[in-house]
Amino acid sequence: MIVASFDLLDGTKIPWIAWGNGTGQAQKQALQCGELALASGIPHIDTAQLYKTERETMEAIKKSGLSRDQVYITSKLSAGDNDEPVPISEVVQSVKESIERLGTIPDLFLVHNPFVAPPGQLKALWKILEDLKAAGELKSIGVSNFRPQDLQEILDGARYKPVVNQLEYHPYTLAHLQPVLDIQAKHGIVTESYGSLTPILRHPTSGPLKPVLERIAARISKATGKDLGPTVVLLLWIRAQGVVAVTASGNPDRIKSLGEIATLPDLLERNEIEEITNVGKTVHFRFYTEHMEKDFPLPNLPSE
């Protein structure tokens, strides 16, 4: 079955779900799990310079037996050792090294976070990616972990707007992210979500969403005759928002189940989607706080 995709503002499409080989994935695991993700029907692999798994990304594709045009690849320009910014004079070479490790131009190339650029040079860094895209040396370009001020800085006079912003996105980040989401809606920028399952996997109690997700999971399980848990409900909610879900499980059984989720129909009812959204906005909880909570005021909400 074909995995649904979303339209990007540069005229390309992106599969709605991806398997990510970061978050502590070792090179061997990135290769084995990447091959399994592709075999399970997930047509999108998300990597980055930081993960040191770009070579394994292409190796997994080769081992899968799929052709290059059957797999969507995302990579990212990351900061150096000790989170040192990338000097502007080294950006082009850094991008070319990513392409060499991948053995191909990625379908999407992101700035991993706004602090990859030296202070005051975010606009200059974005212009370099624009130049590479204009020259055909990059395809789609986007950003990750960008706050409102970061988006505004690169959008001002941009030749190419970022097609996506990859963030920790789930119901418990909605209240804080609203200014970001408003800018993205205005400019047609698609949201990509990492940490999508945080309300279930990382929140200490799962908070007020827990009974909501369990009730909906019970209904769709009964309706389909399949055992579909709260994880499935959250991922279907993310898809219903028009958001790309990037998952990074290293568990083979979970990876296989993600492949099954990738082609599920729209099982959530409109009122259920709205309930998840509204309940999520009553809590603020983010697991990856490093970038998005710096100089970006938090909402006055409980964490549970």
- Residue list, annotated binding site: 112
Please report, in range form, the residues annotated as the binding site for substrate.
112
Given the residues 51, 72, 160, 169, the one annotated as active site: 51
Pairing label, strands 13-15, 5-7: antiparallel
Is residue 22 within 8 A of residue 50, CB to CB? The reply is yes
Question: How far, in Å, CA of 246 to CA of 132, rounded?
Answer: 25
51 is catalytic: yes
Write out the catalytic residue numbers: 51
